[in-house]
Amino acid sequence: MSEKTIRKIQSFVKRSGRLTEGQKYGLNDLWSEYGIDPIVDQIIDFNTVFEKQQDVILEIGFGNGNSLLEMAINEPERNFLGVEVYEAGVGRLINEAHKNQLTNLKVIKEDAVEVLKNNIAASSLTGFQLYFADPWHKKKHHKRRIVQNEFMNMISDKLINGGFVHMATDWENYAEQMMETLEGHVHFKNTLGAHIYSPKPKRRPITKFEKRGERLGHGVWDLIFTNEK
């Protein structure tokens, strides 16, 4: 599959709306402290952008940032890089990170596919997280789902040998596609064995989105795989 095809993956819907003062403050006044503006074809030096040299976990599509914020607070021994295009969520996360004086969290407000292709070095990530990605639930839209083999090729390349992939979704059909894609990939191995979903790990916070899904009777499926090159 060509790079041109990968570039066409529409993994998000760019939402807009009125921003609160706190969100504006995060996006504007605090951006230089927490935001990263990628330069085309220039690799981001994690040892420069983060205060401490430690493992880097990438999360794509963090929404309002609640779970990523909590993880960064609870795991100071790791650096977290969040990629999201939803401005309100980006602004909110940065504002809350500032309130908590976090030094292990950075944010990019760009298309994640382009960031992965152009700005993340091979074998530079310890983990990759994708929680409750847009399921594109209509069958004719399934091709827009981000979890496809071409995308996972990029993730495998950016992860260290032994690095982890953790995905969670409340759409059973998407969970099945994730499982099929990951188990069919040459470099990923299910940590629990073939076709087995993982119990929710303690380190993954329960979000408002997830609680809402539970009230509606939705199940939640976690998948944890390792990258073995």
Q: Which residues are catalytic?
A: 134
Q: Can you give the length of the chain in residues?
A: 229
> b/e map of 145-170 (b: 16 or more CB within 10 Å)?
bbbbeebbebbbbbbbeebbbbbbbb
In degrees to the nearest 10, what's the CA dihedral of 26, 30, 31, 33? -140
Q: Are 6 and 116 in contact (CB under 8 A)?
A: no
Q: What is the DSSP string of 146-172?
A: S-SHHHHHHHHHHEEEEEEEEEEES-H
Amino acid 171 reads W
Place of tokens 């040892």: 47
Q: Find, among 92, 76, 75, the residue nearest to 84 by Cα.
A: 92
| Nearest in space to 72 (alpha carbons), one of 47, 95, 97, 41 | 97
Distance CA 201, CA 222 (A): 8
